[in-house]
Amino acid sequence: MTTKPNTAAMAVSAQRRRLPRFLTPTLMVGGGIVVLITLFGLIAPFFVADPNAVDNMGMQPPSAQHWLGTTQTGQDVLAQLAWATRGSLTVGIIVAVMALFLSAFFGILGGYLGGWLDEAFSLFTNVVLILPGLPLMIVIGSYVEQRGLILIAVVLAITSWAAAARVLRSQTLSIRGRDYVQASKIAGERPWRIIAVEILPNLLPVMSSSFVFALVSAILGEAGLSFIGLGVVGTHTWGSMLFYAQNGQALTLGGWWWFVPPGAMIAALGGGLSLINFSIDGIINPRLRTAPAAARTARHAQKEAAAA
């Protein structure tokens, strides 16, 4: 495990951490991709044709009329992509918010209160963590015929909060023992106020990192579930597009314009979010940011010494 950086180093990095320091190229690129995709999902559905409109121009490659071609039944792929972006993002955000609440509840509360409650909570967390998620989702999803958005979101959230809860718990444990928390305890602060005012702000970087991670895994999980045919009934998502593409023989008929865009969108969004997470990681663990630079300086110095 990593050793805790000493307080002097943390003070230095806190001073350096002004706004421009935040805006690393990684964060800008990642944020840019995510904003573009979100805008596409928000705005594009208003301007595209009906994604369900069937036409006899099936399996047409991209053209001026259909920018991303058509499906086997002549539906416009771009229109489907626009609605699918909105659908996938909606599911992702709902799941990530729910997972954040669940992980905060089990992680922070257990970590702070300790005792048998912590034992029970962390046992529960570890059991949920180790149970394979997708098979469980498949079993639940196949029992329910009317799979609404909320049901799928709940199923995804139930299977994706545990990893974050474990991280939050260990962070809470380390913060709980610090002097200022002890001081406010002795000052007679109520537990919920200590959690909300003293502990929560320190957990924000970790929580935002796990929120981003939950968003990625929710979108991937939903895509996997829809791809199997167990997604939300009657809603376009990236996964359901891929499901129909595979069932519509897009692969063997050479319809790359049908199955490439949805997957590329998932990959781009996932990549953008990972880049954001990357910069958050650099903030949480300053060594990741400073060590490469330090190593570079040392290498330059050696080279210069050798040249001289």
Partner 1 sequence: MHIARKLGFYLVALWAAVTLNFFIPRALPGSPVDAVLAKLALRGPVDPGTRHAIEVMLGADDQGSIIEQYFQYLGNLLRGDLGTTVTYFPAPVTEVIGQALPWTLVLVGLSTCVTFLLGVGLGTVAGWRRGTWLDSLIPATTILQSVPYFWLALLFVYAFAVNLRLFPISGGYDVTLVRPALDYPFLSNAVYYAFLPALTIVLSSLGGWLLGMRNMMVSTLSEDYILTAEAKGLSPRRIMLTYAARNAVLPSVSGFAISLGFVVSGSIVVESVFSYPGIGYTMLQAVNNNDYALMQGLFLIITVAVLGANLVVDLLYGVIDPRTRARG
Return the residues of window 145-174 that contact partner 1 according to CB under 8 A: 145, 163
Q: Closest CB to partner 1 among 23 and 123?
A: 123
| Cα–Cα separations (whole angstroms), residue 174 to 101, 168, 181 | 20, 10, 11
Interatomic CA distance for residues 135 and 239, integer angstroms: 17
**Which stretches of the chain are DSSP H helices?**
7-16, 19-22, 25-43, 77-104, 110-113, 115-130, 133-143, 149-158, 162-176, 179-186, 191-193, 200-228, 238-247, 256-284, 286-307
Of 37-45, 64-72, 172-180, 259-267: span binding partner 1 (CB under 8 A): 259-267
| Binding track over 7-46 against partner 1, x by CB under 8 A | -------------------x--------------------
Q: What is the dihedral of CA 78, 79, 80, 86, to 10 degrees?
A: 110
- Minimum Å distance from CB 291 to partner 1? 5
| Site residues (CB under 8 A) for partner 1, limited to 181-200 | none
Report CA torsion sign: 140, 145, 150, 156: positive
Q: Is 178 helix (H, G, I), strand (E, B) or coil?
A: coil
Rank residues 74 and 263 by Cβ distance to partner 1 and give the closer one. 263
| DSSP per-residue codes, 106-117 | IIIIHHHH-HHH
Check binding of 302 to partner 1 (CB under 8 A).
no
Q: Are 71 and 178 in contact (CB under 8 A)?
A: no
- Tell me: does residue 260 bind partner 1 (CB under 8 A): yes
Under rule CB under 8 A, residue 113 binds partner 1: no
Residues 49, 57, 129, 154: which binds partner 1 (CB under 8 A)? 129
Residues that bind partner 1 (CB under 8 A): 1-3, 26, 123, 126-127, 129-136, 138-140, 142-145, 163, 216, 220, 223-224, 227-230, 242, 245-246, 251-252, 254, 256, 259-260, 262-263, 266-267, 269-271, 273-275, 278, 281, 285, 287-288, 291-296, 299
